[in-house]
């Protein structure tokens, strides 16, 4: 905890790799009024890039991102 006390209060923001819940790390950062985000964006962007890599084609980033966010939120229908 010493390293967090020494570094987080001066940070412009923090990102946790865990997504979908507020971790003790994120709670701590927020308690110090530091911008804190979970790992959902990291997961999404890595997934979009991996998808494009594996199909060897560049698709509309925003479209893929939308599908992935809906699926993460529990939506099964990729059509809307």
Q: Are residues 33 and 6 in the same domain?
A: yes
In a domain, 56, yes or no: yes
pLDDT at 10 over 70: yes
pLDDT above 90: percentage of residues in the chain: 42
In a domain, 65, yes or no: yes
In a domain, 80, yes or no: no
In a domain, 15, yes or no: yes
Q: Are residues 31 and 6 in the same domain?
A: yes
Question: Residue 67 and residue 76: Cα distance in Å, rounded?
Answer: 9
In the prediction, which pLDDT does 57 show? Answer: 77
Number of domains in the chain: 2
In a domain, 28, yes or no: yes
In a domain, 78, yes or no: no
Domain span holding position 56: 43-72
């Amino acid at each position: 905890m010493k390293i967090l006390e020494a570094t987080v209060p001066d940070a412009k923001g923090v990102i946790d790799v865990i997504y979908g819940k507020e971790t003790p790390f994120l709670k701590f950062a927020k308690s110090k009024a530091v911008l804190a985000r979970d790992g959902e964006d990291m997961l999404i962007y890595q997934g979009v890039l991996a998808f494009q890599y594996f199909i060897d084609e560049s698709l509309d980033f925003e479209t893929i991102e939308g599908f992935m966010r809906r699926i993460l939120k529990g939506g099964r229908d990729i059509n809307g």
